[in-house]
Amino acid sequence: MSGREPLERLPSTLPQQPGTGAWLPSKRDQKGLRRAMKRTRWALVAMASLMLVISASAQLSRLGSLQGAVSAGIARASMHGIGGSSGDSVKIDVRKTRKAGNKPLSLSLPPGSILHCGGDAQSMVVASVKGEMAGGNSYSPGSDIYLPDFNTHSYVVEAYCINFDKNNPSSDTSFSLRHPDSMLARVVSEAARRGLSVRATQAAIWIVTDGVSYDHMSSKFPVSSSDWAQARAVVKHCRNMR
């Protein structure tokens, strides 16, 4: 059985009212007709409610990437370091353009997205959006970029350096947004899944991008032997996924 209500059909032959030649339903048939009409009304109410939900959903643009929105000209973004090489280290300022219309935008920033630096500082790879900045050093947690209006909204991004021998980004470092790197996307996602520390995740990134050894890394970015072992395990796993 499908679980659906069976159709309540009207009788094919209706009794005739004596002396009039008119066909009228019996009391039993009238009762059935009223039930059918009541169910029809409920169905119409349900359909109207569904249309309202669909209409409201249409107001919220389908989740797309920040890269796609910038390329389409419906959003603008600028990215700056906030003084760290790893972890919650990048701020992104995003605003919706008039081309997007009045409907809100909800955008993703895919793991593995590259934040390219053309200067002497390291470029970075995105791990995740942490949330919208709420003033000072705090933010409201959230994994997507939500733009309900034409104001600029600032988001904290977890990101990691990808050029070991370059300088760490500073608060004056700006980046340009590039498309994701598939290998780095796997690494940051697997590191998050396993719950690696910030240092272990950074070590895994530099193993992939720069092939650094434990001694070379420790001279600039001290990591414990446990973090190093976890980083190597993540890299090995991700390389075997190819």
Structure confidence by residue, pLDDT tens digits, 42-74: 667 556 555 543 443 344 444 599 999 999 999
> What are the boundaries of each domain within the chain?
56-180, 182-242
Torsions phi, psi for 7 (to 5 deg): -65, 135
pLDDT, tens digit, for every residue of 113-124? Answer: 999 998 899 999
Distance CA 113, CA 124 (A): 8
Q: What is the mean pLDDT of residues 68-86?
A: 93
Helix (H) or strand (E) holding 81: strand 75-81
pTM of the model as a whole:
0.74
pLDDT of residue 15: 45
pLDDT of residue 33: 64
* Mean pLDDT, the chain, whole residue set: 84
User: Looking at the predicted structure, is the pLDDT value of residue 8 above 60?
Assistant: no
99 band by pLDDT with thresholds 50, 70 and 90: very high
Q: What is the mean pLDDT of residues 190-208?
A: 98
Contact 69, 105 (CB under 8 A): yes
pLDDT of residue 29: 63
Q: Which residue in this structure is represented by tokens 């072992």?
A: 229
